[in-house]
């Protein structure tokens, strides 16, 4: 470019003036050389002194130049560089139409040249593609050029075109080759079956990532391209990979690892991978590192599978030891066999004994060797699967059963090479099966002798056996019943329900019980009660069903008659029961009124007796006074008896109004009511934190009152009462009472005292009405208090127990179930 400019600066200004042109569009990228030449010619015209100098400069220019005249584009001047580019000599072009010497370019160039002449606007070609015939053959060439219109006397009309051309074929081809190489490289990356990515620069910016890599990353290409690796995967900050990548980039060395553990976050959370990977530096022409090629193979499945294999091998080893399973490996071509020590034991030897295949075969029972083992071996060579159950004879002539399973390994020509397998001693199982078969035969013989119907079904409910009584009754053989089904015998009115209940029993594993009519061979229907019970194996799985059908036809007719009578009697009982309810209500009302009416004369007897003793004491003899005192005492006991009877009657009331109550407050109310007695007896009462429950409040006050009053009353003469009230929880199974539910938990409240106690043999008697263990003169009471306590506890669905030891004390324990408070 500099040399061209120097040449044009030597051209005279006058010779160039006639080539002045109007303002044109700037050249496109790639035409810098041509623009420089033209601009130099225009700007330095003052330095040109003659046309010859101009032509001489054009001739010597290092770029191709041509001046075309007129609409035929006659070559007025062409320099050597242009002739060299198009592989022509001056005689072939000078003074002739351009297309006469270069006909192959006419199709591409003529439309452009004519447009330049018509518009007067320059045309800039950049990497223009054209096929030239040069050096004896057509060649694809690329040029950067300018078609500049030439103006002479009339500035408005172009008379010619000044062509400046530079061949850039090598540059274009090199760029295309580079692009192809880049594309091939990218295709290699994107189409690779291995996960690959390219990271650019020290920031490790993701440039390319193929589908396999994106699958590991669980990202789309748009989510990662152009972003730094650490920005896309911040979880790598705490792993070793960023440090390794930086080391590869800075030190230009390859790094490889196998089965490295990597954690990659993405949709679904953090995921663990095992990776074989390679970090390889990417070098520029100058040897500097511009990026890193990352190649990854996700071997997670392989590593996991290997770990599973290892675990499986361990489990297999444990299983074979636990199941007493023997293993063997037979070389079919040589007959050599490798076996575990357990196999020798199965054949009756010490586990250190090494047996040959022939020795094992000789110990097989002669009948089974020919009919079972040899046939199974030949079949295995064809199918690849080896299986049989046969008898072997030990050295002591005892017979044992074995089961062998194996797999044949073939070569590429399907020639059997090896057989791997296991062996197990199944003597116990076979003996059990033989015994079972014997029992089954006995069962069938017994079933056939019974008048009832006996039948069996498999685990799925398909009936597979019918005894002789059933086939005789139905007129069908067992095979016919199995084929056509038993439902055909059931009366149409009961078929749907029979089938529903049978299917439900099969599904749930429960007993099948149903009464339906079965058709006899003559078409008559009779009622039968059918029952089937599932039979379980040692694993708890249903193995079969055993069913019976009992003729209840006569009973059913009798029951139908009986039910009619029962319905009549029931109606009579309903009437009688209603009458009884009214009577009980009247009795209850009478008892209540009578109890209150009885208390009125008692109060008068007590009042008048007291007044007589107070006013007439001096006139009464000692015997008279004693009589009056006895009368007062008897009336007082009578009044207390009426009060207790009312309380007991009240405890029997069916209606129960439950309230949420704090039993600590209930206890406090009772202690306040008994405060005078507690102080008089110097009693000490301690208690745990009592529960809050739904209770009949007034009944629980009566319950606490009776138990504490008893403890205060039944105390020895030489000590003060001490009452300990405790609360807690206990399982039903630990309660020593017949009514306790072992599946429930209970709250307990216990009242322990240091009183006179009682003999344990009387623990049930003390809760009965009017039962006393002591003379009335020794301890006051009506014998109803504890009966009331028991009734109150039963009203709350609880239990009460008593533990006593004479002279030591008594403990009364109340058990109230959780979750049952109404």
Listing DSSP states for 627-656 in one string gives HHHHHHHHHHHHHHHHHHHHHHHHHT-S--
Whole-angstrom Cα distance, residue 72 to residue 100? 10
Pairing type for strands 512-519 and 463-466 reads unpaired
Q: Mean pLDDT in the chain?
A: 80
Whole-angstrom Cα distance, residue 409 to residue 422? 15
Whole-angstrom Cα distance, residue 217 to residue 670? 76
CB atoms closer than 10 angstroms to residue 758: 20
- Could you tell me which residues come within 8 angstroms of residue 348 by beta carbon, excluding any fewer than 6 positions away? 363, 394, 395, 396, 398, 400
CB burial of 715-751 (b: ≥16 within 10 Å; e: otherwise) equals beeeeebbbbbebeeeebeebeeeebeeeeebbbbbb
Residues making up the chain, counted from first to last:
822
CB atoms closer than 10 angstroms to residue 132: 20
So what's the pLDDT on residue 634? Answer: 66
So what's the pLDDT on residue 445? Answer: 73
So what's the pLDDT on residue 538? Answer: 82
Whole-angstrom Cα distance, residue 200 to residue 222? 17
Whole-angstrom Cα distance, residue 74 to residue 96? 5
Pairing type for strands 684-687 and 722-731 reads parallel
Q: Which of 302, 248, 268, 31 is nearest to 143 (CA)?
A: 31
So what's the pLDDT on residue 766? Answer: 77
| Residues of the chain predicted below pLDDT 70 | 1-51, 153-156, 178, 181-193, 309-310, 312-323, 436, 440-441, 443, 447, 449, 583-600, 602, 604, 606, 632-656, 762, 768-783, 820-822
So what's the pLDDT on residue 164? Answer: 93
So what's the pLDDT on residue 11? Answer: 35
CA-to-CA dists, residue 492 to 111, 484, 736, 779, angstroms:
100, 16, 54, 76
Sign of CA dihedral 438, 440, 445, 449: positive
Tokens of 310: 């290892």
Per-residue pLDDT tens for 518-565?
Answer: 999 898 899 988 999 999 888 889 988 888 888 888 888 887 788 888
So what's the pLDDT on residue 663? Answer: 93
Tokens of 225: 């391209």
Say which residue the tokens 């018509």 belong to.
118
DSSP state of 511: P
So what's the pLDDT on residue 761? Answer: 73
Whole-prediction pTM: 0.31
Whole-angstrom Cα distance, residue 760 to residue 803? 7
Whole-angstrom Cα distance, residue 230 to residue 206? 10
């Amino acid at each position: 470019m500099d040399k061209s400019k120097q040449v044009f600066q030597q051209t005279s200004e006058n010779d160039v003036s006639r080539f002045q042109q109007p303002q044109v569009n700037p050249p496109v990228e790639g035409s810098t050389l041509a623009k420089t030449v033209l601009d130099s010619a225009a700007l330095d015209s003052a330095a040109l002194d003659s046309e010859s100098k101009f032509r001489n400069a054009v001739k010597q220019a290092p770029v191709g130049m041509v001046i075309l005249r007129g609409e035929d584009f006659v070559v007025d001047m062409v320099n050597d560089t242009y002739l060299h580019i198009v592989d022509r000599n001056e005689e072939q072009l000078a003074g002739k139409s351009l297309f006469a010497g270069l006909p192959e370019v006419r199709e591409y160039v003529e439309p452009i040249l004519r447009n330049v002449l018509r518009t007067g606007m320059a045309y800039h070609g950049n990497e223009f593609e054209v096929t030239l015939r040069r050096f004896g053959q057509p060649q694809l060439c690329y040029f950067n050029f300018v078609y500049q219109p030439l103006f002479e006397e009339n500035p408005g009309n172009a008379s010619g075109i000044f062509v400046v051309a530079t061949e850039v074929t090598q540059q274009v081809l090199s760029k295309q080759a580079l692009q192809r190489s880049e594309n091939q490289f990218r295709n290699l990356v994107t189409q690779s079956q291995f996960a690959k990515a390219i990271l650019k620069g020290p920031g490790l910016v993701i440039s390319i990532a193929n589908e396999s890599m994106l699958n590991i990353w669980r990202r789309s290409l748009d989510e990662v391209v152009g972003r730094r690796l650490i920005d896309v995967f911040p979880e790598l900050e705490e792993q070793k990979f960023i440090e390794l990548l930086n080391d590869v980039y800075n030190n230009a060395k390859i790094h490889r690892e196998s089965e490295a553990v990597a954690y990659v976050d993405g949709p679904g959370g953090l995921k663990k991978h095992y990776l074989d990977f390679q970090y390889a530096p990417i070098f520029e022409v100058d040897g500097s590192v511009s990026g890193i090629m990352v190649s990854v193979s996700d071997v997670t499945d392989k590593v996991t599978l290997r770990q599973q294999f290892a675990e499986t091998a361990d489990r297999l080893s444990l299983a074979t030891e636990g199941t007493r399973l023997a293993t063997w490996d037979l070389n079919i071509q040589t007959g050599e066999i490798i076996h575990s020590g357990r196999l020798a034991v199965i054949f009756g030897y010490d586990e250190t004994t090494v047996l040959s295949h022939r020795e094992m075969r000789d110990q097989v029972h002669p009948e089974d060797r020919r009919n079972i083992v040899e046939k199974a071996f030949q079949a295995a060579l064809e199918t690849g699967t080896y299986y049989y159950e046969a008898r072997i004879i030990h050295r002591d002539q005892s017979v044992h059963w074995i089961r062998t399973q194996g797999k044949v390994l073939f070569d590429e020509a399907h020639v059997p090479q090896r057989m791997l397998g296991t062996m197990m001693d199944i003597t116990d199982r076979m003996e059990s099966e033989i015994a079972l078969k014997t029992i089954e035969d006995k069962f069938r013989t017994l079933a056939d002798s019974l008048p009832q119907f006996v039948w069996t079904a498999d685990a799925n409910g398909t009936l597979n056996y019918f005894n002789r009584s059933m086939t005789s009754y139905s007129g069908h053989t067992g095979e016919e019943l199995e084929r056509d089904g038993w439902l055909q015998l059931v009366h149409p009115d009961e078929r749907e329900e029979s089938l529903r209940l049978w299917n439900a029993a099969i599904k749930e594993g429960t007993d099948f019980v149903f009464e339906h009519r079965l058709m006899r061979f003559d078409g008559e229907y009779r009622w039968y009660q059918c029952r089937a019970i599932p039979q379980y194996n040692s694993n708890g799985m249903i193995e079969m069903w055993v069913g019976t059908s009992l003729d209840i036809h006569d009973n059913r007719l009798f029951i139908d008659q009986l039910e009619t009578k029962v319905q009549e009697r029931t109606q009579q009982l309903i009437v009688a029961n209603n009458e009884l309810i009214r009577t009980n209500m009247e009795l209850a009302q009478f008892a209540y009124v009578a109890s209150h009416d009885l208390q009125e004369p008692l109060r008068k007897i007590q009042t008048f007796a007291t007044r007589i003793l107070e006013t007439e004491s001096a006139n009464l003899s000692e015997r008279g006074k004693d009589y009056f005192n006895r009368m007062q005492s008897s009336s007082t006991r009578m009044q207390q008896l009426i009060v207790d009877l009312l309380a007991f009657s009240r405890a029997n009331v069916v209606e129960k109004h439950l309230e949420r109550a704090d039993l600590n407050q209930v206890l406090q109310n009772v202690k306040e009511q008994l405060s005078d007695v507690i102080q008089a007896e110097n009693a000490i009462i301690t208690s745990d934190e009592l529960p809050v429950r739904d209770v009949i409040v007034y009944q629980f006050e009566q319950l606490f009152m009776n138990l504490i009053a008893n403890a205060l009353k039944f105390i020895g003469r030489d000590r003060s009462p001490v009452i300990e009230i405790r609360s807690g929880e206990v399982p039903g199974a630990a309660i020593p009472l017949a009514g306790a539910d072992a599946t429930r938990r209970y709250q307990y409240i216990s009242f322990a005292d240091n009183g006179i106690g009682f003999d344990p043999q009387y623990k049930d008697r003390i809760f009965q009405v009017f039962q006393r263990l002591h003379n009335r003169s020794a301890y006051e009471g009506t014998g109803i208090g504890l009966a009331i306590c028991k009734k109150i506890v039963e009203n709350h669905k609880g239990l009460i127990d008593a533990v006593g030891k004479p002279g030591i004390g008594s403990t009364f324990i109340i058990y109230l179930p959780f979750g049952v408070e109404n």
